[in-house]
Structures are given as C-alpha cells and as structure tokens.
Amino acid sequence: MNTRYSATSTAVGKRTGRALRILFEKLAAAPWRAFLLPMKNILLIICLAAGLLAQALAAPPYPIGERLAFNAEFIGLIPIGMVWMDITTGVYNNAPTVQFNGRCLGDFKFYVADVRVTSHIAVQSDQSVYHYIEQFGSERRGRRLLFDWPNNQMHYVRLERDGQYRLRRSVPVTPDVFDVFSAAFWARRMVDPVVGTNIEIKVIETERVFHLRCTIVERRPFVVKGIGTFDAVRLKFEALNLQPNEIFKGFLDLDKDIVVWLEATTRTPLYMSSKVPFGIFRPTVEVFLKEWHTVPGFEPRLSGTNAYYRN
C-alpha cells in the first residue's frame, strides 16, 4: 500500500499536530491558566485530537498506478468509442499532487469527440488545485479551473472562439469544494458500500457550486459482459442546494439521472449510462469496464470465475 500519497492522512495529521502544538505553547506561556481550564474542556480537546487522528489513519490512500479502460456503446449495441482513466503522481505549482487523467474518444460517424480531462489534488491538503478539460474533433472546446486556496477563490478560464484562453470569472469557494473529475476519485475513497449510506460533497464545474448527496441504493452481483461478475453497488445522486423551481441538469454534459455501478471493495466504476451530446443528438450511451490494471491493496472481490483484471 502506497501510504506516501495518503493525502487526507497527511493533511489531517498536520492539522492535528498544529492544533496540539498551539495548545501546548499557550499553556507553557501561561502555566497558571492551565489549572483554571475546566477538566471537561481538556478532555474534549483530547477527544477531538484523537478523533482527527483516527480519521487520518482510516482514510485510504489513492490507488496510484491504477488504469481503467472502458468500451462505450450506443444503446448497448453499437460501439462508438473508448474511455480511459488512470491515477498517477504529479506536480502543480511546485507542490506534489495526485493526478487523475481521463480521455473519451467517441466516433458517431458524423460527429467525432476526443475529450481529455486532468485534475490535480494536493498531497498536503487533499484539495483540488487544478482541473482542465479540452475537446477536439468536430468541435473545439476547453476550460480550466484554478483553485486559489489562500484567497478561497476558483478562477474559471475558458477557451474562446479565437483559440485563446481567457478568465471568465473568479468564484468564491469554501475549502471543501472539488472540481467534478477529482470529486469522483475523492468520494470513491469515502463511500461505505452499505445500502442506505451516503456521503455529501461540494463540486464545481464552471461557476456554480453544487452540494451533492451520493447514496448507495442497491447492492448485488453485477455482470460486466466479457469480464465477469462483481460484488457491486449502485449510486444515486441528488443536489441539495437547488433554488426553487431549479432543475439539476448534471455535469460534463451528462444526464442528471446517470446510472453508476461501482465494485464494492475498491469502489471502482464498472458501468455507467447516460444521455451524451453528439452534436444535436443526445443518445443514451453505456460505458462498460473492459480492462482493469490494479495496484496492490486495491484488488476487486470477485463473484464470478471468469473475471479478468491485470496487476
């Protein structure tokens, strides 16, 4: 297990250490006040520190080196492309990061889309620091999100018609906001694969922050055609901070009712389906896991005898 990049453990552990150090420094500077501090407050501080430490130790690391490949099909019949995702180490602003990469190559005969996505989460703070998505092919699009945490802002930069990237807007954000792509990998570590449990996360795609709840609504053996059967869970997503009469339309041009199945042990995506824009059309596209390069400590629990993966 690669504990070096257990970003949450590192960040929470450092925050706990700083809090305890400040407390001890204040008590040392004014020792007579220590006797005036109620014992229950001391116990609360100790319990808080212990809780934070337990959370840090429990947070799993990211599976650095994992690579996933998916087939994309139109209504489960017509092959239209491939999807790739991988997790590596990176650097942003001279600081180490966990880097998430994705690519979607779709060929719908009269419409071609080659979409590249990269997100960085800082190792030290476990926060989103940089995200970009670019589309090539029949259309050219692009945007970048730059997180300025000292000022609690996110700078939204978009590719304009003249081919130049320009700042569109700076948006105030709280420290618990993630870009859409890295949010999926961060949440994957925190999901408890028990029906009825949920986690909440705040995400931003361009200018609006959505507070999402992700709930496990089903668990059963799930067949991935051509690979095998896995112990899997299905997720449901809902936005909690909508305005009156506002409709949540989803992210990355996907449908709000996207269907996602995860392998229960590692919470690795096995299957997704959603309506996806191809020019003026929005056909339902299904994405199936095709190949899974695992890393030690993140192997799946197999339910079928024909399941295939690489390590």
Neighbours of 187 (CB within 10 A): 18
In terms of Cβ atoms closer than 10 Å to its own Cβ (0-12, 13-18, 19+), residue 147 is: buried
What element of type H or E holds 274? strand 269-275
- From the list 215, 173, 167, 171, the residue with the least C-alpha distance to 190 is 215
DSSP codes joined into one string, 210-223: EEEEEEEEEEEEEE
Strands 228-239 and 165-172, by their bridges, are: unpaired
Judge whether residue 40 has pLDDT over 60: no
Comparing 9 with 67, which gets the higher pLDDT?
Answer: 67
Greatest distance between any 2 Cα atoms in the chain: 79
Judge whether residue 289 has pLDDT over 60: yes
Contacts of 40 (CB under 8 A, 6+ apart): none
Band of residue 60 on the pLDDT scale cut at 50, 70, 90: low
pLDDT at 80: 78
Q: Which two tokens stand for residue 15?
A: 């925050």
- From the list 283, 290, 252, the residue with the least C-alpha distance to 269 is 290
Q: Find where tokens 């090539």 sit.
A: 136
CA angle, 148 as apex, 135 and 256 as ends, to 5°? Answer: 45
- How far is residue 266's CA from residue 50's CA, in Å, rounded to a whole number? 27
In this predicted structure, which of 99-113, 127-141, 161-175 has the lowest mean pLDDT?
Answer: 99-113
Comparing 91 with 282, which gets the higher pLDDT?
Answer: 91
- How far is residue 210's CA from residue 102's CA, in Å, rounded to a whole number? 22
- How far is residue 91's CA from residue 122's CA, in Å, rounded to a whole number? 8
Return the percentage of the chain with pLDDT > 90, whole number: 42
Q: Please compute the mean of the pLDDT values over residues 301-307 and round it to a whole number.
A: 52
DSSP codes joined into one string, 95-108: EEEEEEEEEEEEE-
Q: Are 214 and 201 in contact (CB under 8 A)?
A: yes
User: Could you tell me where the DSSP H helices lie in the chain?
Assistant: 7-29, 31-34, 39-58, 180-190
Q: Are 298 and 266 in contact (CB under 8 A)?
A: yes
How far does Cα 90 stand from its chain's mean position? 16
- The pTM of the full predicted model, rounded to 2 decimals, is 0.74
Mean pLDDT across the chain: 77
In this predicted structure, which of 5-14, 21-30, 205-214, 291-300 has the lowest mean pLDDT?
Answer: 5-14
Cα distances (angstroms) measured from residue 200 to each of 197, 214, 255: 10, 6, 19
